[in-house]
């Protein structure tokens, strides 16, 4: 599968890891802070406002993720040009707002329509014990996801290159997950049948949304029981470093 990067020339992250024979699974993590910019260093401070403590290894992983995302995005459309200027806030921190709602540290989680890995990959970096499955249809984004998982040496992280409508035709992934998560890729009404298929009993839908969700909730109110999702709970995310108000909707099965 063709990748946007020229494989004859390593990226800075790959060169650095290769020269030092560095593995994130190793007990001793080399200090990579020299390469980290102020945005990444501020990620640690802002994550604390979400109740999340990131260690040096995790900050290194976020730093590499950011640099690789920018390099790939220069050649293929992974994220919008505007949001590429605010990766820390609009992608990393926004994704991390969902961590408090996951529940089990070893939850089996599927991120549907994850694009360049949001919110699944930031959640996996912050909580490595998660068993993460990333479902994405776009070939180039799938290629990037596989690349970054390999580069960061993330275990229990799998990329599924398929469409939801194809997957739910078979029983392979039926009732296999504790959490179905999505960030603005689907309307709540579209997540209901997905939740019925993917989630085991007691599982939950986590939907990261903007401030205006009343219409979506109204559309779901009359049919949610049909899909065995018995209630939706709204959680307001009011954090000073976010420009716009956010909501997280939890649907319980």
Q: pLDDT, tens digit, for every residue of 26-60?
A: 433 444 554 567 888 889 999 999 999 999 999 99
Note the maximum CA span of the chain. Answer: 58
Other CB atoms within 10 A of residue 241 CB? 12
For the whole model, what pTM was predicted?
A: 0.86
Radius of gyration of the chain (CA): 18
What are the CA-CA distances from residue 201 to residues 17, 30, 66, 112, 252 (Å)? 42, 42, 36, 19, 9
pLDDT at 156: 98
Phi/psi-derived region of residue 60, left when phi > 0, alpha when psi is between -120 and 50, beta in every other case: alpha
Of all helices (H) and strands (E), which one includes residue 41? helix 38-48
Residue range 69-94, pLDDT digits in tens: 999 999 999 998 777 778 999 999 99
- Which tens digit of pLDDT belongs to each residue from 129-156? 999 999 999 999 999 999 999 999 999 9
Q: What domains can be seen in the chain, in order of their start residue?
A: 12-22+31-252 (3.40.50.150)
Q: What is the pLDDT of residue 54?
A: 96
Residue 169: count of CB within 10 angstroms of its CB? 9
225 or 32, which is more confident? 225
Most confident among 90-99, 213-222, 227-236 (mean pLDDT): 90-99
Q: Which of 142, 138, 145 is nearest to 121 (CA)?
A: 145
Q: What is the mean pLDDT of the chain?
A: 86
Q: Render pLDDT for 178-192 as a digit per residue (tens, 0 to 9).
A: 999 999 899 999 999
Give the three-class secondary structure for 93. Answer: helix
CA–CA gap between residue 32 and residue 75 (Å, rounded): 26
Of residues 245, 112, 136, the one with CA closest to residue 191? 112
pLDDT number for residue 81: 79
The whole-angstrom separation of Cα 232 and Cα 229 is 8
User: Which stretches does DSSP call E strand in 11-143?
Assistant: 108-112, 131-136
119 CB-contact burial (10 Å; exposed 0-12 / middle 13-18 / buried 19+): buried
* Beta pairing partners, 246: 237
């Amino acid at each position: 599968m063709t990748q946007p990067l020229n494989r004859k020339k390593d990226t800075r992250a790959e060169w650095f890891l290769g020269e030092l024979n560095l593995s994130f699974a190793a007990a001793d993590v080399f200090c990579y802070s020299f390469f980290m910019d102020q945005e990444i260093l501020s990620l640690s401070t802002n994550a604390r406002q979400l109740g999340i403590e990131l260690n040096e290894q995790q900050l290194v992983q976020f730093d590499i993720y950011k640099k690789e995302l920018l390099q790939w995005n220069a050649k293929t459309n992974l994220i919008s040009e505007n949001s590429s200027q605010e990766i820390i806030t609009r992608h990393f921190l926004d994704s991390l707002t969902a961590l408090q709602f996951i529940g089990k540290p070893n939850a089996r989680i599927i991120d549907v329509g994850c694009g360049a890995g949001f919110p699944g990959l930031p959640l996996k970096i912050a909580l490595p014990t998660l068993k993460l499955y990333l479902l994405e249809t776009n070939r180039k984004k799938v290629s990037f996801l596989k690349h970054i998982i390999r580069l960061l040496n993330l275990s229990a992280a799998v990329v599924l290159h398929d469409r939801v409508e194809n997957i739910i035709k078979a029983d392979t992934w039926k009732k296999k997950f504790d959490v179905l998560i999505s960030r603005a890729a689907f309307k709540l009404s579209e997540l209901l049948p997905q939740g019925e298929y993917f989630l085991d009993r007691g599982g939950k839908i986590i939907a990261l949304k903007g401030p205006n969700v009343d219409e979506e909730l109204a559309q779901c109110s009359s049919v949610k029981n049909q899909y065995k999702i018995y209630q939706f709970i709204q959680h307001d995310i009011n954090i000073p470093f976010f420009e716009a108000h956010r909501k997280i909707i939890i649907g319980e099965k």
